Chain A
Amino acid sequence: GENVEQHPSTLSVQEGDSAVIKCTYSDSASNYFPWYKQELGKGPQLIIDIRSNVGEKKDQRIAVTLNKTAKHFSLHITETQPEDSAVYFCAAPRLGGGADGLTFGKGTHLIIQP
């Protein structure tokens, strides 16, 4: 099965600066990598995802990059704002694909300092 490692566990940045969260995965057959944002007391919300046939995807202030050779992918948030404060999770297919669910990283608590 898949193993996903996520770093850092906590990240504090000044408002307006950029934040980068990194994940590695173990299964070279994995082909889909979503990122989730979880606010306190709520369920995780899918914010961006990337498939293995592209190296980068952007959506306004957030972007995800993927390096299949090195088996790692990263979330980039630019011009951070107070509402970006949350816990972020990366994930990969649990068994390389299909309906078997996702394996999640342990999460990064992002703190935006005013």
Chain B
Amino acid sequence: SQTIHQWPATLVQPVGSPLSLECTVEGTSNPNLYWYRQAAGRGLQLLFYSVGIGQISSEVPQNLSASRPQDRQFILSSKKLLLSDSGFYLCAWTTGGGSRGAFFGQGTRLTVV
């Protein structure tokens, strides 16, 4: 069966420090991968998605970037964190070939201080 791993679970970082969040998927090949952010409150906002190695689509201009160095690995990064980057970051995957539900990781709670 497929599983998705996301780490770390919680992270406290000072303003101006770099960020690297990692997500890996097991049990499937060539998944579509997504990074969402959930602000306090509840809404989920799509940040990046990827349909293949090295292919990244950005949905929201911001202080973040994403990379997909391997088929089942998706990384969210920042060179210099801002206070406004605080939030709950969620990685998700789907199989290709049309609309279908995404399966989420357990999330990373990022607090920028």
Contact = CB atoms under 8 A, between A and B. Distances in A.
Given A104-B44, A106-B42, A43 B105 contact: yes
Given A43-B90, A99-B96, A104 B43 contact: yes
Given A89-B44, A104-B43, A49 B101 contact: yes
B106 interface: yes
B107 A102 contact: no
Nearest to B108: A43
Contacts of A8: none
Nearest to A95: B99
Given A42-B106, A49-B101, A107 B43 contact: yes
Contact of B102 (A42, A101, A106, A109): A101
B42 A98 contact: no
Interface residues of B, number: 27
Contacts of B94: 99
Given A99-B51, A100-B49, A43 B107 contact: yes
Contacts of B107: 41-43
Interface in A72-114: 87, 89, 93-94, 97-104, 106-107, 109
Given A43-B107, A89-B42, A101 B101 contact: no
Interface of A: 30-32, 34, 36, 38, 41-46, 49, 87, 89, 93-94, 97-104, 106-107, 109
Given A32-B101, A101-B34, 19 more contacts: A32-B100, A36-B104, A38-B42, A43-B92, A49-B101, A93-B99, A98-B98, A98-B99, A99-B49, A99-B94, A99-B96, A100-B49, A100-B57, A101-B46, A101-B49, A102-B44, A104-B43, A106-B42, A109-B42
